[in-house]
Amino acid sequence: MAKQVVPETERRRRRPTRQGTVLSEKLIVRTALRMLREHGSTGLTARRLGAALGADPSTLYRYFAGLDDLTRAIGEELMGRALDTWTATGEWRSDLRALGRAVHASYLADPQAAVLTASRVTGRPREIAVDETILGILRGAGFPDADAVVVYHAFIDLTLAFAALDAGTLALTDEARAADEEMWRSTYAELPAGTHPHIAATARLLAGRMNHSAYPVVLDTLLNSAAEQLAWAHARRHPDPADT
Amino acid sequence: MAKQVVPETERRRRRPTRQGTVLSEKLIVRTALRMLREHGSTGLTARRLGAALGADPSTLYRYFAGLDDLTRAIGEELMGRALDTWTATGEWRSDLRALGRAVHASYLADPQAAVLTASRVTGRPREIAVDETILGILRGAGFPDADAVVVYHAFIDLTLAFAALDAGTLALTDEARAADEEMWRSTYAELPAGTHPHIAATARLLAGRMNHSAYPVVLDTLLNSAAEQLAWAHARRHPDPADT
DNA sequence: CGGTTAAGGTCAATAGTGTTGGCATAAGGG
DNA sequence: CCCTTATGCCAACACTATTGACCTTAACCG
């Protein structure tokens, strides 16, 4: 059984569960997100999700090919949320910055889910929509296709990579985070200047920095570099007589 | 049992296993890396590792507090390998670039292990050594402490984030990768120009790009930006009369 | 409406997982 | 050479994802 999953759009009969709830992909994904929030990034199990839905765990396999498939659907949901909070202004740089931050923020809003999904390509509609949007912004700004593709690649990978990394620290349980911070204080902050002069000298500054994400800083350097690249490409096509 | 683990340095008695092998932290970590390479990033299990070592699975708990602890030790091993392949030249930019690439390469050399460890801070000696080295390069180059900390933070997070992301695609089993690439061709490459004009227009270029890592490109933009920052900081302290 | 079909629910079972308490044996210090 | 105890093994527990068989009932067609 459960070999083939009926696509959500062709689903016809909706039999209520023994406990009364009527299932749907959306309900399952939303419940899964809640489970992740409540029980941590390893707390999403078929049994637990089934119990929360008032359904047998095996029922999930009528909607998803496996937990892996469900995971991709969760990622798609996060991408969709990011796209929904974003609006275009027409200025390519601020549009890209806003879009990157929206994706990053959307993942960080559900860190436990982000940990599971950020490094996976889903190939689902809203993810494709994000890609199309980014390429559209770049090409609309005048980037030659070859340059647009390079910037697009760096932009999307950078954003997802930081989403995964930053979500990782947020997703720790309170307990684990406390242990981590304690570890930090007891090792990094206490290193003797004799063996580790540079860490010792900057320990105070480090403590203030490491709590924040480096994503905004790196994103801006990428956008700056892209802007220069665009200027060159433009100059090459419309040479300024004063430059010769 | 297994509540407290004896530190490797204080280990005295080494009783051979029933099948003759003599255990050690190093041997366990190396064997774990092999298991990951052979069986994928989810293929490291206590039972399997025990079998490969010729020991009972529970014996592992005499060496590590849990599989989680073992995972951190694996990350530490990858960091150490990166540091071993790197040598300083004294030129801060090329040193940083080489170090970043060494870490990135070390993780990608064991992608399945990298997936498990790249987003975790171990706090172990060789990881700290890498941090100390980076800060040393930056401060030695003349970066004021505040700037050095910002660049350090961006540098290390960028490197680890891309290591995790890029390892993720490399770590897929041949089967899963084939499915992924097929998915890519059947969705992205086939999107009609009507609904997704920008992806359609650049599909060929994208296919060539997405196989490579965006890390080198982004790393260089970060180093360029840092160099400018350094020039400004330097100019502020030694104003050039010609600039006024 | 009434009959038929199969979607979509449940149940039970399989083969795996991390982890721990209890026990035994042999290594190495005194 | 004896004693202690570190370090190995065994058995058990409470989990996990997933599947095949079964059964109920929703929805379509005449």
Based on the domain organization, do B150 and B229 belong to the same domain? Answer: yes
A29 within domain boundaries:
yes
From chain A, the residues in CB contact with B164 under 8 A are 119, 161, 164-165
Based on the domain organization, do B161 and B219 belong to the same domain? Answer: yes
* Number of compact structural domains in chain A: 2
d(CA B91, CA A47): 56
Burial of A12 (0-12, 13-18, 19+ CB in 10 A): exposed
A193 within domain boundaries:
no
First to last CA, chain A: 73
Based on the domain organization, do B233 and B152 belong to the same domain? Answer: yes
Based on the domain organization, do B230 and B124 belong to the same domain? Answer: yes
The reported pLDDT for the residue numbered A12 is 65
Residue A88 has pLDDT above 60, yes or no: yes
- Interface contact flag, A222 B224, Cβ < 8 Å: no
Based on the domain organization, do A61 and A120 belong to the same domain? Answer: no
Residue A31 has pLDDT above 60, yes or no: yes
**pLDDT tens digits, B189-241:** 888 999 999 999 999 898 888 878 999 999 999 999 999 999 988 787 777 66
Based on the domain organization, do A100 and A151 belong to the same domain? Answer: yes
CA torsion sign for A43, B107, B64, B37 is positive
Residue B213 tokens, joined: 């890592």
- Residue with the two structure tokens 């190093």: B26
A1 within domain boundaries:
no
Residue B141 has pLDDT above 90, yes or no: yes
Residue B2 has pLDDT above 50, yes or no: no
Based on the domain organization, do B217 and B127 belong to the same domain? Answer: yes
A41 within domain boundaries:
yes
CA torsion sign for B61, B63, B67, B69 is positive
Residue B131 has pLDDT above 50, yes or no: yes
When pLDDT is cut at 50, 70 and 90, the band that residue A2 belongs to is: very low
How many residues are recorded in chain B? 244
Residue A224 phi, psi (nearest 5): -60, -50
A77 within domain boundaries:
no
Is the distance between the Cβ of B12 and the closest atom of strand D smaller than 7 Å?
Answer: yes
The reported pLDDT for the residue numbered A3 is 55
**pLDDT tens digits, A195-231:** 999 999 999 898 888 888 999 999 999 999 999 999 9
**pLDDT tens digits, A125-149:** 899 999 999 999 999 999 999 999 9
Nearest to A165 among B161, B196, B218 (CB): B161
d(CA B94, CA A20): 64
Nearest to B75 by CA among B174, B167, B213: B167
Residue B99 tokens, joined: 């170090």
Burial of A237 (0-12, 13-18, 19+ CB in 10 A): exposed
- Interface contact flag, A145 B224, Cβ < 8 Å: no
Q: Name the residue with higher pLDDT: A225 or B170.
A: A225
Residue A97 has pLDDT above 80, yes or no: yes
Is the distance between the Cβ of B58 and the closest atom of strand D smaller than 7 Å?
Answer: yes
The reported pLDDT for the residue numbered A170 is 87
Based on the domain organization, do B21 and B61 belong to the same domain? Answer: yes
Residue B52 tokens, joined: 């490969």
Nearest to A205 among B145, B161, B164 (CB): B145
When pLDDT is cut at 50, 70 and 90, the band that residue A240 belongs to is: low
* CA to C1' distance (Å), from B15 to C25: 10
Based on the domain organization, do A56 and A93 belong to the same domain? Answer: no
Nucleotide nearest to A64 (CA to C1'): D18
When pLDDT is cut at 50, 70 and 90, the band that residue A242 belongs to is: low
The reported pLDDT for the residue numbered B5 is 77
Q: Could you count the other beta carbons within 10 Å of the beta carbon of residue B147? A: 18
pLDDT mean across residues, chain B: 89
d(CA B165, CA B115): 8
Residue A65 tokens, joined: 């090919």
Which domain range does residue A132 map to?
88-171+213-243
B193 within domain boundaries:
no
User: In b/e form, how buried is each residue of B162-181, taking b as 16+ CB within 10 angstroms?
Assistant: bbbbbbbbbbbeeeeeeeee
A36 within domain boundaries:
yes
**CATH code (residue B234):** 1.10.357
d(CA A167, CA B113): 19
Based on the domain organization, do A154 and A94 belong to the same domain? Answer: yes
d(CA A206, CA A199): 8
Residue A59 has pLDDT above 90, yes or no: yes
When pLDDT is cut at 50, 70 and 90, the band that residue A233 belongs to is: confident
**pLDDT tens digits, B43-83:** 999 999 999 999 999 999 999 999 999 999 999 999 999 99
Based on the domain organization, do A12 and A121 belong to the same domain? Answer: no
CB of B145 closer than 8 Å to CB of A205: yes
Residue B6 has pLDDT above 80, yes or no: no
**CATH code (residue B30):** 1.10.10.60
Based on the domain organization, do A144 and A227 belong to the same domain? Answer: yes
Burial of B205 (0-12, 13-18, 19+ CB in 10 A): middle
d(CA B115, CA A120): 12
d(CA B41, CA B26): 20
B207 within domain boundaries:
no
Give the minimum alpha-carbon distance from B49 to chain A in angstroms, rounded to a whole number: 22
Residue B180 has pLDDT above 90, yes or no: no
d(CA A211, CA A197): 22
Nucleotide nearest to A59 (CA to C1'): C9
The reported pLDDT for the residue numbered B8 is 76
The reported pLDDT for the residue numbered A177 is 72
Residue A117 tokens, joined: 């999904």
Say whether B212 sits in a helix, a strand or coil: coil
Nearest to A123 among B152, B183, B197 (CB): B183
Q: What is the mean pLDDT of residues A234-244?
A: 69
Residue B21 has pLDDT above 80, yes or no: yes
Residue A29 phi, psi (nearest 5): -65, -45
